[in-house]
């Protein structure tokens, strides 16, 4: 359990956000944490399941940042499937 900063981009949003997550969060939770700052705030919530894209690849929804080898301030996109 440790606080871990990432750069989050919610699909169709306009800005790159500093999003604090936890090292044990699975990507489903990471996606929610990014969405929290944008979905229904500046963009309509995306329909469909939210996935995390890192360096062009969709990550396993159960993986953590540690599993996926995402460094602090790695750029994660939350995209709807």
Partner 1 sequence: MPALRRSDWYDLARDLNWNLSYVTEDEAFPEVMSNNYGITPNEKWWGWDEPYKVSYREYVHNQHGKDASVYSVNSVIARSRMFEELDPGWKSAIVAHYGAIAVPEYLAGLGESRMGRFGRAAAWRNMALFGTLDETRHGQIQTYFPYTLLDKEPRMDWAHKALHTNEWGAIAARHLFDDMFTANDAVSTAIQLTFTFETGFTNLQFLGMAADAMEVGDLDFGALISSIQTDESRHAQQGEPTVKILVENGYADVAQRLVDHMFWRSWHVFALLTGLSMDYYTPLEHRSHSFKEFMQEWIVKQFLDQFRDFGLEPSWYWESHFLPELDWYHHALHLGVWFWRPTVWWNPDAGVSPAEREWLEEKYPGWNDTFGVYWDTIGDNLRRGEETKTLPETFPMVCNMCQIPVVTPAGFRAGKLESPEPQIHIHEGRQYVFCSEPCKWVFQLNPARFAGHTSVVDRFLGGEIQPPTIPGALEWMGLSPEEMGQDATNYAWAFEGFEAPGAAAS
Residues forming the site for partner 1 (CB under 8 A): 5, 7, 9, 12-20, 36-37, 40-44, 71, 73, 75, 77
Closer Cβ to partner 1, 26 or 45, answer by number: 45
Closer Cβ to partner 1, 3 or 62, answer by number: 3
Closer Cβ to partner 1, 6 or 63, answer by number: 6
- Which two three-digit tokens encode residue 52? 């995390």
- Which two three-digit tokens encode residue 32? 């929610």
For 31, phi and psi rounded to 5 degrees? Answer: -60, -40
């Amino acid at each position: 359990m440790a606080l871990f900063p990432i750069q989050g981009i919610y699909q169709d949003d306009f800005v790159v956000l500093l999003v604090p997550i936890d090292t044990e969060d699975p990507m489903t939770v990471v996606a929610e944490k990014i969405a929290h700052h944008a979905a229904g705030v500046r963009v309509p919530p995306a329909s469909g399941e939210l996935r995390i894209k890192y360096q062009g690849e969709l990550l396993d929804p159960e993986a953590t940042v540690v599993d996926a080898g995402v460094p602090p301030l790695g750029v994660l996109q939350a995209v709807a499937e």
